[in-house]
Structure 1
Amino acid sequence: MSLPGEDPGAPAVVERVVGETGGELVLRRTQAHWEVFSNGVFLMDTRDGASEREMVRAALGGLPGGHRGARVLIGGLGVGFSAREALDDPRVGLVRVVELEPKVVEWHSGPLGEVAGRLPEEHRCDLVRADLADWLEEAARSAAAGGERYDAVCLDTDNGPDWTVREENGRLYGARALDLLASVTAPGGAVAFWSAMRSPAFEDLLRGRFGGVRTVEVPARAGGPDLVYLVRVPA
């Protein structure tokens, strides 16, 4: 119940913490929806999630219908839409999510628990607390030695290659990162990138590295469409 004079639809800060990068991380509630901000910049909310889900569907689209036990790597947990979409696919045996912020993971056992079905309790969901760029270096070394590779890799760690909330995330869209992503992806597997806007330069970089790029446009609530860039690692 709101107090006299208060706007019942006004955003309410639920938690404000210092994140791993030293910036401010905020979770707030606006009526029925949750919103996450980093240093005052909007990151994500629970109003839609259509483009995040489409990213996962596009990446898994090349799997045979009878495939079982597929491994999916997701960069960025967010409000959990991507992880839940992957877990709901019967062909998927493991979803590994790499998330930098421990507090975001913690929220999925609390305020965000019902949004994506309490992911920390999912036996097929492995939540790794790490910087994705650093984690990929180690994962690539492991893959080269015969270790784990993924049938689908989905990156939603920021707003896209040309709009990074955290400057360091720019390295996830460079040539070195594309080589690392290719090395941890199984032959014939897919790598998908979420972006809030079109990035011709990044599209050219993908085309040069993988030979072809599929672009999926998903209508957004406001402004231009969200985009998913999809590439495949040669079989």
Structure 2
Amino acid sequence: MLDRRTGPGGEVVLRRHGDLLQIIVNGCFLMDTSDGRSERVLVRSALAGLPRGTAPDAPRLLIGGLGVGFSLDEAASQPRWGSITVVEREPAILDWHRRGPLAEVSGRALADPRTRLVKADLLDFLRAPAPDADRYDALCLDIDNGPDWTVTEGNEGLYSPAGLAACAARLNPGGVLAVWSARPSPAFEDALRHSGYQRVATEEIPVVRGVPDVVHLAVRPA
């Protein structure tokens, strides 16, 4: 164990297992540095989903949840993004990236002038009054294990009708919502459609064992 702290979501632990770094929240494994393919797909698919011919030249990206940093690293590797805002509520995770072992994943991205870190609860951030400067062309959200398997109390609100409405309010017309999940959720697909999103789709990413990771995609109507 490298560090253990109590934060807004409870106990957060950073652990090294061989070459891997792992984040444990309230005794439940959240993520590690073993792969990162699905976290990178989260960002790639959001960028690919922006409307052809009408997408802005420098789209603005919001990443919800810093985690081990794969999504941020992927975003910084794409020169097309005009700005990259990352919202993370756990001070410990921010510290592990800024001054700790997770800098090995995110150091290059944190040095990118397009990157801005915000310490805040994602739901509080989304629900705050948003001037035009705080709207985005893509939201890439990965704050838990998905809509059907939340680890932290309160995170289920993100997947509720009110949470999806808050996401839509932060998206520019034609903007893409991408949500990471540890398993497919047909019920969440239905919730996206019932909330007025279009082009709802699920992209599966195979894993070594068990059900695939997925990225749920949807578009705010133009």
Matching residue of 1:106: 95
| 1:17-42 CA distance string (max 9 Å, x none) | 11223x22110111111001011100
Matching residue of 1:142: 130
One-letter amino acid of the structure 2 residue matched with residue 14 of structure 1: L
Distance, in Å, in 2 between the alignment partners of 1:108 and 1:48 is 18
Work out which of the two has the higher radius of gyration on C-alpha atoms and give 1 or 2: 1
Contact 1:113 1:119 in 2 (8 A): no
Matching residue of 1:54: 41
| 1:133-155 CA distance string (max 9 Å, x none) | 111111xx224xx3321111011
Matching residue of 2:112: 122
One-letter amino acid of the structure 1 residue matched with residue 161 of structure 2: A
Distance, in Å, in 1 between the alignment partners of 2:96 and 2:207 is 25
Deviation at 1:124, TM superposition (A): 1.2
The TM-score, its normalising length taken from structure 2, stands at: 0.93
Contact 1:206 1:212 in 2 (8 A): no
Distance, in Å, in 2 between the alignment partners of 1:69 and 1:211 is 23
One-letter amino acid of the structure 1 residue matched with residue 11 of structure 2: E
Distance, in Å, in 1 between the alignment partners of 2:25 and 2:49 is 35
CA RMSD after TM alignment: 1.6
Q: Equivalences for 1:1-235 in 2 at 5 Å? A: 13-21=1-9, 23-63=10-50, 68-109=57-98, 110-138=100-128, 141-143=129-131, 146-209=132-195, 210-235=197-222
Deviation at 1:67, TM superposition (A): 5.4
Q: Which runs of 5+ in 2 are unaligned?
A: none
| 1:28-75 CA distance string (max 9 Å, x none) | 111111001011100110000100100111110034599532110011
Deviation at 1:15, TM superposition (A): 0.8
The TM-score, its normalising length taken from structure 1, stands at: 0.88
Matching residue of 1:9: none
| 1:109-132 CA distance string (max 9 Å, x none) | 221111123544332111100011
Give identity over the alignment, percent. 51
Distance, in Å, in 2 between the alignment partners of 1:51 and 1:32 is 20
Distance, in Å, in 1 between the alignment partners of 2:73 and 2:109 is 8
Distance, in Å, in 1 between the alignment partners of 2:27 and 2:198 is 38
Distance, in Å, in 1 between the alignment partners of 2:121 and 2:109 is 19
One-letter amino acid of the structure 2 residue matched with residue 150 of structure 1: Y
Distance, in Å, in 1 between the alignment partners of 2:111 and 2:190 is 40
Distance, in Å, in 2 between the alignment partners of 1:197 and 1:113 is 28
Deviation at 1:191, TM superposition (A): 0.3
Contact 1:73 1:152 in 2 (8 A): yes
Contact 1:68 1:90 in 2 (8 A): no
One-letter amino acid of the structure 2 residue matched with residue 54 of structure 1: V
Structure 1 residues 130 and 121: CA distance shift in structure 2, 3 A: same
